[in-house]
Structures are given as C-alpha cells and as structure tokens.
Structure 1
Amino acid sequence: MVKTIGLLVVLSAFFCLKGSAQSSGEMLFGDTSRRGVPFSKDPHVVRLNGHYLMYFSIPPFDGNPDPINGWAIGIAKSSDLVDWEKVGEILPEGDYEKKGLCAPGALVIDGQVHLFYQTYGNWRTDAICHAVSSDGINFERNPTNPIFRPTGDWNCGRAIDAEVIRFKDRYLLYFATRDSSMNIQMQGVAAAPLNTNFNREDWTQLTDEPILAPKYPWEGRCVEGASIIQRGDSLFMFYAGAYNNAPQQVGVAKSADGILWERLSNKPFLPNGDPGEWNSCESGHPHIFEDEDGRTYLFFQGNDDFGKTWKISKREVLWTANGPKLIE
C-alpha cells in the first residue's frame, strides 16, 4: 500500500493531476515585493479594530543569501476581505529565527493579536514560536521562544504550521510534524490552561501518536496546515492533504474533544482546479475564518506553475446538518 500511494504521489506531481473546477471568486492576492511575481502562502485572517488583517508567508529575495532576507511573514489589510494592501512584514529576529520564519496562525484575545508561527530552515529542529501585538503589525516576541516542539519516538521532534484555538477550558495548539524518518507529515496537538501567557512551560503534549495522518491516496504522504473552527459542541478541522503541488488539496475532519478526529469524506472538500485555472497545481494550506456576522470563509493558496508563483483566494462556506459546504 505504501508503494502504491508513493507512486500516485509521484505521478500526480509529474502531471499536476486536476480535481474538479475551482473559481478564484472575488479575491486573488499575491505579494510581488520580493520576487517581482505573486508569491504569498499560508494565509491566516483576523479582524481587529474594524478591519481585517491577513498574515502570510513570503519568500527570500532572489539571489540574496542575507538571513534578514530569508522567509518572513507579510501582513496585509482589508476593509472588505476582497481588496488587500500590504502594510508590514515580520522579519527574522534573534538566533532561533536567523534562517527564517513563516506559516503564521493568529488569535485575537482582549484586543491583542497573538501570533503563532514556525522557524524555517532547521529541518528536524524547526519549532513553534509566539509573539503578541496591540496593533497587529508590530510584534513583541515571547521570551521563552521557541515555545513548542513535540516529544516521543512517533515523531522527529519538529513542529510547524501552528494553529491555536480556545476550546472549553483550555487552549489547543495544533501542529504538523513528521515521523522519525522525515517521510510522513502528520498532525499533533498540545494544550495550555486558560490563564496561560503561552510560554514554553505551559504546553502539554496530549498524545503519544498522531491525531491525523495520511490515509487516503489523495493525501499522499502528508497531512498538514490544520485550521480549526468550533460549530456548536464540535470542532471542524480543515487540513491540507499531500505535499505541495502533488497536488495539495483540502479535507475536513470533525471532533467532539479536539483529540479524536473523524474525516467527513474520503475525497477532498476543496480540490485543485482544472487545467488552465489559477489553482490547477493545488488548492492548499487552508484557513477557515469566521467573521463577526457569522459568515465563514475558507482561505487557501494555489498556483498553476508548480510553485513558481503562489496566490491566495477564498471561498465562502455554508453549514448544514452534515457539516460544511462550499458556495458554488
């Protein structure tokens, strides 16, 4: 079975296999400041002080090895979730970030943005960090950074793609890691009490095994980029299946406790696009955002050139008795 899945991944990556048609809808964003072409990944959106802020990964400048020009986090602002203006960057700071930082996840608590992000370029030792901001643009690092790396022989010690949500009487931190061979990407979870300042010592890993790992052929060797939303008493996880451009597509799972998860389908919730569409090579790294009016939007990244460019779009999501449904 492993060999079969591996072959499917190789073939799909080579031919850029297509799912059902996807539309870019009303929003298509790509920051051109670093490479002269659109290149924005890993979106996460919050609402703060009457406007929207989107955090996203931006790449190194072409041909510049200076660490300050490594992977970083861009910040864009919008009044309508459609038109976005870049308003800032979060650059590497300190020794633990010197090779770069990316994959932001944000949480607004008492008018402050808490940003959870990963170091980049350290392979097995990449870890989750935390910073806080009153304006959503200028951040102060947590002095205990990095705040989390997983333990146990089921993983390699790496943590990326942070997502933090308050659920019942604690905060849950979802992260992606790999097995000890660095081959399979999978999801884990840790918890901190409600009175936490998100310091390293506050986090407790909740399992000694992955909470979600690749299962279906379309997921290849990778489940990553979890984004969580609560609906009623349940949590729904929108996750990315397969490595980038394999193609990566979005799936959904459901949980009553945040630890045990059940997929809603054996097929992608949001497939990559058809040939000729902007996301024909992938629809990946989702973020599910609930606005103040209760409407929810699925932000995601995509491209049609195997990663030479990356753009971010969104689709509105409706909720039925059976779970989420995309508005066509």
Structure 2
Amino acid sequence: MSHHANAHAEFPLGPFRPYEQNPILSPRGDGWESGNVYNPAAVVKDGKVVLLYRAHADDIVSHVGLATSEDGINFERHPDPVLSPTQPYEEFGAEDPRVTEIDGTYYLTYTGWDRKSAQLCLATSTDLYTWTKHGPLFPEFNTFLPQGNGQDAPWSKAGAILPVPIDGRYLMYFGEGSIYHAWSEDLIHWKPCSNDEPLMVPTGPGTFGEFLVEVGPPPVITNNGLILMLHNAAVKNPDGSVRYSCGQLLFDPADPATILAQMNRPWLEPSTYEDTHGLVSNVTFVEGLVFFKDTWFAYYGQSDSTLGVATYKVGDRYSSLGS
C-alpha cells in the first residue's frame, strides 16, 4: 500500500484552524434548504472542491445538496437537491452523507431515517448529480448495542470507506454510539464484523467521548502507510444536552480493527456562536476532509444549523517552540 501513502498526512493531522468568517454555507430561500444546512461530505473533482451537504426546511426532512468551490472556501450551490428521500426506509430524511471516489465512481453513504430506525444506506454515481440507490447496508445491526439506546430497532449510521483496497478488499468504518468495521470485494455488498465486536466504544469518564463516538469523514493513508481516521465524539451534560467535538484514530492496515493511537483531546470543538447555538447546540460535526492546494480542509456542521470549515496548511505547527 506504500504507493498510495499521502506524503502530507501524518498523526495527528493538524493543527486545524476554523475559518474566521464561518459559516461558509447557511440556510437560504423558502424551500428544501431554508431551515438548516450542515454535515457535509467533500471530494475534489476537476480541480474543485465539491460538497454534498445535508439540508432541510422546517419539516426537518433532509435532502442532500451540492456546492462547488475553486478555493475550498467560497461555494456556488446547485439549485436543487441531488439526493432526496424516495423510499420507505428514508421517508423522513436522507441524512449525513460521506463520499469516497474509487476509479471514477463515487460511493455515497448516508442515513435513511423513517422516524423509527436510522439505517446506513449506499448510493453510487459517476457525476455526483445522478445517484443510484442500493438500500440499507446493515439492516440487522445496532451500533448502540454496547451501551444501549433504549430500543431494539435497527440502528446504523456514518459509513466511511477507505479509498484504497487492503489485500484485494475494501474497508469501511461505520457506527454511531460505537464504531465498527466492514469489508467488501465489490464496494456494493458489505459484510460487517460481529455486532458484539466494536473496535471503539465510548471513552472513559471525564473524556470528550464518554457518551458516544461516531465515524467522521473517510479515512486516509498516512505518509508511512497507516490509516488515519477522524471521528466525532460526544459528552452528555447533566441537563440532557450534548456537546460534540472531534478526535483522531490511527490503525495498522494489517490489523485495521485495532487502534494503534488516539488523540486524548479534541482537534476541533465548539468555539464560535454558530458552534454553540442552533438546532442542536454545542456541535462541531466533521464529515468531509480533502487535501486541496497544499491544505487540508475539514468541513463540518455547526450546531446542526450552518456549515463551517477548518484548515491545516501543510507546514503549520502545533507550537512554534524550537522553530
């Protein structure tokens, strides 16, 4: 896998700095994206950054919109959704997309929501505008099983596909509550690990992931061939509210279900007004990560209401000490 290594990726990735003029996308109009705009997937295509973002009106039935940018900051939006609910399993929302491009095909995972079960679904495209749906991936799975979520209905979210194969198979990390992994030979049909064998459960008391951990954007191969995955994590406050921030994990491709290293403090956390006020306040939720023009761009939802970006320009340091 060494020839796929990214010379600009290492652990921990960063430091990331939130763009001072966030949000970069906000609700607009009186239609499908008039209420909230957040939780974007990201990919580079034809020299532009493309965002596939979640948006909805006041009915909170989510669609996936598309926006393009030549600088990673200023985006032009396509007027219509590119993916909308059409099936019973997603009747009340096509939510939280993540996208990976492999050999000219885009593999989009998203959450289908029917107000009973959240189910991880897959769609494919060759142009990012027209999508073929392949349905729920893990209809029997419950990623909250280790700690319980008070229901027996299927529950799975947050699928992130590694864009390069490992020994002829493709790897997906997935899960909200706890994190799991799955394998595929054709990128359409996926076999998950056992529901009893999460690779990461909520972290210890007093840590930033003690309530839940959830997969972030698709993982990348680092400069020495290791797998770097960004994730989202949450704590639950005494009043029942939550606070979401972001962590990082490192894996050996030879053993991608065993964590080699993990950050013990967030690399991105709520700090601005938009991060701390919204439909679900105190949330920075990253789902998009691209390397573009010598810079890493991390795209995230701000309190389930607006869309922000944080950047890490290669060469920046966590500290100027000794430089």
In the superposition, the TM-score normalised over structure 1's length comes to 0.73
Q: Note the C-alpha offset of 1:134.
A: 2.0
Structure 1 residue aligned with 2:52: 55
Structure 2 residue aligned with 1:192: 184
Structure 2 residue aligned with 1:268: 266
Structure 2 residue aligned with 1:223: 213
Q: Note the C-alpha offset of 1:207.
A: 6.6
Query: Which amino acid in the other structure matches residue 233 of structure 1?
Result: G
Residues 110 and 159 of structure 2 are in contact (CA less than 8 Å); yes or no, is this contact kept in structure 1?
yes
Structure 1 residue aligned with 2:172: 173
Cα distance change of structure 1 residues 327 and 104 upon mapping to structure 2, 3 Å threshold: farther
Q: Note the C-alpha offset of 1:197.
A: 4.5
Structure 1: distance between partners of 2:33 and 2:77: 14
3-state DSSP class of the match of 2:274?
Answer: coil
Structure 2: distance between partners of 1:73 and 1:129: 13
Structure 2: distance between partners of 1:191 and 1:167: 10
Structure 2 residue aligned with 1:182: none
Cα distance change of structure 1 residues 315 and 212 upon mapping to structure 2, 3 Å threshold: same
1:236 aligns with 2:228: yes
| Aligned ranges 1:1-328 → 2 under 5 Å | 23-25=18-20, 28-33=24-29, 34=31, 39-59=36-56, 61-62=57-58, 70-87=61-78, 88-89=80-81, 90-123=83-116, 125-142=117-134, 145-149=135-139, 151=141, 154=146, 157-165=154-162, 166-169=164-167, 170-177=169-176, 185-193=177-185, 196-199=186-189, 202-205=190-193, 208-216=196-204, 217=206, 218-227=208-217, 228-231=219-222, 232-242=224-234, 246-257=242-253, 258-273=256-271, 277-280=273-276, 281-287=281-287, 289-291=289-291, 293=293, 295-303=295-303, 310-317=305-312
Cα distance change of structure 1 residues 319 and 186 upon mapping to structure 2, 3 Å threshold: farther
5+ residue gaps, structure 1, are 1-20, 178-184
Percent identity over the alignment is 16
3-state DSSP class of the match of 1:172?
Answer: strand
Structure 1: distance between partners of 2:138 and 2:99: 16
Query: Which amino acid in the other structure matches residue 98 of structure 2?
Result: G
Cα distance change of structure 1 residues 293 and 80 upon mapping to structure 2, 3 Å threshold: closer
Q: Note the C-alpha offset of 1:24.
A: 3.2
Aligned residue-pair number:
278
Q: Note the C-alpha offset of 1:293.
A: 4.7
Q: Note the C-alpha offset of 1:215.
A: 1.0
Residues 44 and 290 of structure 2 are in contact (CA less than 8 Å); yes or no, is this contact kept in structure 1?
no
Structure 1: distance between partners of 2:269 and 2:102: 33
Cα distance change of structure 1 residues 127 and 326 upon mapping to structure 2, 3 Å threshold: farther
Structure 2: distance between partners of 1:105 and 1:36: 19
Structure 2: distance between partners of 1:234 and 1:26: 34
Q: Note the C-alpha offset of 1:36.
A: 7.5
3-state DSSP class of the match of 1:46?
Answer: strand
Structure 2: distance between partners of 1:150 and 1:186: 16
Q: Note the C-alpha offset of 1:242.
A: 0.7
3-state DSSP class of the match of 1:70?
Answer: coil
Query: Which amino acid in the other structure matches residue 53 of structure 1?
Result: V
Q: Note the C-alpha offset of 1:114.
A: 1.8
Cα distance change of structure 1 residues 167 and 112 upon mapping to structure 2, 3 Å threshold: closer
Q: Note the C-alpha offset of 1:325.
A: 6.3
3-state DSSP class of the match of 1:96?
Answer: helix
Partner deviation per Cα, 1:223-254 (whole Å, 9 max, x = no partner): 11322222031111211111696221111111
Structure 2: distance between partners of 1:262 and 1:285: 23
Structure 2: distance between partners of 1:92 and 1:26: 32
Residues 141 and 156 of structure 2 are in contact (CA less than 8 Å); yes or no, is this contact kept in structure 1?
no
Please provide the CA RMSD for this pair.
Answer: 3.1
In the superposition, the TM-score normalised over structure 2's length comes to 0.74
Residues 52 and 67 of structure 2 are in contact (CA less than 8 Å); yes or no, is this contact kept in structure 1?
yes
3-state DSSP class of the match of 1:291?
Answer: strand
